[in-house]
């Protein structure tokens, strides 16, 4: 079973993402912010990471940049799931290691389609 880490400071968004992914057959681990996400990455290998951008303690871009430096995470797909859609923010996300960008509110079918392309 593929393991997915979802990182968002909104409990309702984490629950919606987790419900959608579990229903599609993925194992999901939740984190409440970038610091928590980075700590959970240390607990075992993930096949994909989905993160919000704006969070307290450590934002999604800082977390992705830190994860990219860890052994075994150079090529792990990472998606930004956020309300932000500005070109500058997307560029910063790509530079930090984002594989893709999904704007909230998300469509469950579209999220699953993206997952199936990224997690083999």
Domain ranges of the chain: 3-118
Backbone angles phi, psi at 62, to 5 degrees: -60, -40
**Is the pLDDT reported for residue 85 higher than 80?**
no
Give the closest residue to 118 by CA, choosing from 70, 46, 65.
46
Tell me, what's the pLDDT at 86? 83
Q: How does residue 70 score in pLDDT terms, banded at 50, 70 and 90?
A: very high
Tell me what the mean pLDDT of segment 86-92 comes to: 86
**Is the pLDDT reported for residue 3 higher than 80?**
yes
Tell me what the mean pLDDT of segment 79-97 comes to: 87
Q: Which CATH class is domain 3-118?
A: alpha beta
| 25 DSSP 8-state letter | T
């Amino acid at each position: 079973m593929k393991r997915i880490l979802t990182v968002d400071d909104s409990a309702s968004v984490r629950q919606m993402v987790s419900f959608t992914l579990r229903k599609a057959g993925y194992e999901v681990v939740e984190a409440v912010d970038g610091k928590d996400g980075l700590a959970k990455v240390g607990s075992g290998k993930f096949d994909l990471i989905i993160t919000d951008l704006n969070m307290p303690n450590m934002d999604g871009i800082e977390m992705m940049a830190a994860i990219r430096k860890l052994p075994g995470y150079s090529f792990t797909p990472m998606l930004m799931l956020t309300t932000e859609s500005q070109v500058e923010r997307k560029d910063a996300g790509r530079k930090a290691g984002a594989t893709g960008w999904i704007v909230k509110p998300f469509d469950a079918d579209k999220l699953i389609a993206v997952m199936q392309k990224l997690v083999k």
